[in-house]
Structure 1
Amino acid sequence: MNEDRISIKTPEYVSLQFQVAGLGSRTAAYIIDQLILMAFNIAIVVIFLIITYGQPDILIFLDLHSYLIAIIIIGIFFINWGYFFAFEYFSGGRTPGKRAMGIRVIQENGHSITLLSSFIRNLLRIIDSLPTGYFLGIIMIFFHSKHKRIGDLVAGSIVVHERKTNRKNKLSAIEKEIQTRGLSKNDLIIDEWSLKSIKMKDWKLIQTYCNRFLQLPKNDRDELTKQIAAILFPKLGIEQEDEELENKLLIVYLILKDEWEFEL
């Protein structure tokens, strides 16, 4: 099952291939996330007890009013649900567990997961968890041809493996140029909301620019740089000083590369 592959044609008529994440990798990712949440939940309860009673004695729970226990349980539920929702939307479809296992959630059309899809997908975890121990979700993932649980079916999402790269010592020409200029992703701070405004056509635009970067005559490159910067920089909230346009575009390429270049 781990070798299952699908081909997706995006609305921009770009064909992408993905390896679908199976039950094993998704279960491992879920266990990692649950361990993180367990530690976080315990910390919340301990802090609550210390603030309220001055000591982290778990037996104090037996003496709490029922409404306080209800508030704590509801609060922990929303934190646990929000963990998956926030990480999947703001971190390119990756929770810490998914990142550790090299998998991510995307839309069925190959785009990054949307706010609505992430909301629906994680809201339906409640159903996938029935009757206990995520039983229904496991059964769905195991038997579905694309390893989808109910949340994925309704949200139109799919979990895939990250693009594998074996080029640690084989940099492309543009990567060598970026390295020579001493540029890195940390040289530009772009907020997640701005990154979400980038679409596949924008990525293909800057990818083509960087692929042709070293072959273009200086004058043509300068003109193309200004045109592409005028398209992308307003979306990303980047200022357009002429003397830094090339370097900024190359840094944007590095940042978007992690998000968009995941074809197998």
Structure 2
Amino acid sequence: MASSVLDPTSGAGAPDEPLDTTVRLITPERITFLYPLAGPFRRATAYLIDLLVLVMVGFLGLLLSLALSLGTAAGGGLFLVVVFVLRFGYGALLEGLFNGQTIGKRAMGIRVVSVEGVPITGGQAFLRNLLWCLDGMMPFAYMPALASMILTRRFQRLGDLAARTMVIVEQRPPRAGVANLEEKAVAAILPRLPTRIDAGPELARALSDYVTHRKRFSPSRREEMAGHLARPARQKYGLPDDVPGDALLCALYHRVFLEG
């Protein structure tokens, strides 16, 4: 598949991107991807939204604890368990299940990805949220997180550094370049694919590059380009040889990037 350079400033003598806005990742095939980084203000706003959600859920947990303990002192211990689970489980669960987004991050249009630019794993989501105990260390409330974000190129707090993650501003490819689920060939393939596909960095970038630019080519040319990736994908997921390569790559793209 022909590769394209997505960074118009790449090349000898080109100026570097502003350190506080984007990060550049280059594949071995010299394909360059730019990721707009989420700065401290946007991330703090997302965190406050999540904190409000936690307070509301925690209040319901308090009422449930009191109800289960019949108003006795045992309810306090049960409530502390609820608070602990919410504090460290909320972000890990949502980011693991919803492709790097909590309610607050989704509201602010940001997402956690790995430093390779691909969706995070459940282990990464758990680790980065577990280390909030360091990032929000008392009595230096959130100063370790803020200091780490200021001092790192990718605005990474300590949890991000440990989990090898970063937070980006979500950018979807232009709708003209993405196959809609209404396209029958794509819709027919999606139920035959796993609900979660762990794509490696090279496969994820190849899918993104192909889907973003596919509309530039004729249908026959798309099939020719898609064949290199579609052939092993058919074998891996047990699909017949007559499944169109273009539709298969679009379906894989939806699973990896749009349905996580």
**Which residue does 1:117 correspond to in 2?**
124
How much does 1:8 deviate? 1.9
The answer for unaligned runs of 5 or more in structure 2 is 1-17
Residues matched between the structures, number? 238
Q: Distance in 1 between matches of 2:81 and 2:29?
A: 42
Q: Aligned partners of 2:157, 2:131: CA distance in 1, in Å?
A: 9
Q: In 2 relative to 1, CA 108–179 (structure 1 residues): closer, same or farther, beyond 3 Å?
A: closer
Structure 2 CA distance for partners of 1:242 and 1:101, relative to 1, 3 Å: same
Q: Secondary structure at the match of 2:168?
A: strand
TM-score scaled to structure 1, two decimals? Answer: 0.70
Structure 1: which amino acid aligns with 2:214?
A: N
The alignment partner of 2:34 has SS state of strand
8 A Cα contact 1:22 1:142, kept in partner: no
Matched, 1:252 2:252: yes
Quote the residue 2:165 is aligned against.
Answer: 157
Shift of 1:32: 0.9
Q: Show CA shifts across 1:50-100 (max 9, x none).
A: 3442xxxxxx3xx414xx533431332123311111222222211121111
Q: Distance in 1 between matches of 2:123 and 2:240?
A: 36
Q: Distance in 1 between matches of 2:37 and 2:194?
A: 29
Does structure 1 residue 240 correspond to structure 2 residue 239?
yes
In the other structure, the counterpart of 1:56 is none
Distance 1:8 1:249 in 2: 22
Distance 1:30 1:212, change over 3 A: closer
Question: Does the Cα contact within 8 Å between 1:6 and 1:19 map onto a contact in 2?
Answer: yes
Q: Which runs of 5+ in 1 are unaligned?
A: 54-59
SS of equivalent residue, structure 1 residue 21? coil
Q: Contact 1:105 / 1:113 at 8 angstroms: preserved in 2?
A: yes
The percentage of aligned residue pairs carrying the same residue is 22
Normalising by structure 2, report the TM-score: 0.71
Say if 1:106 and 1:217 are closer, same or farther in 2 by CA, change over 3 A: closer
More helix by share: 1
- For residue 182 of structure 1, report the CA deviation from its aligned partner: 5.0
Distance in 2 separating the partners of 1:179 and 1:120: 34
Taking the aligned partners of 1:112 and 1:121, their CA distance within structure 2 comes to 14
CA 1:217–1:205: 2 relative to 1, 3 Å: same
- Superposition pairs for residues 124-139 of structure 1, below 5 Å? 124-132=131-139, 133-139=141-147
Structure 2 partner of 1:188: 190
Correspondences of 1:167-206 after superposition (within 5 Å) = 167=174, 171-172=176-177, 175=179, 178=180, 181=183, 188-189=190-191, 192=195, 194-196=196-198, 198-206=199-207
- Once residues 250 and 152 of structure 1 are traced to their aligned partners in structure 2, the CA distance between those partners, rounded to angstroms, is 30
Q: Partners in 1 of 2:105 and 2:22 — Cα distance?
A: 18
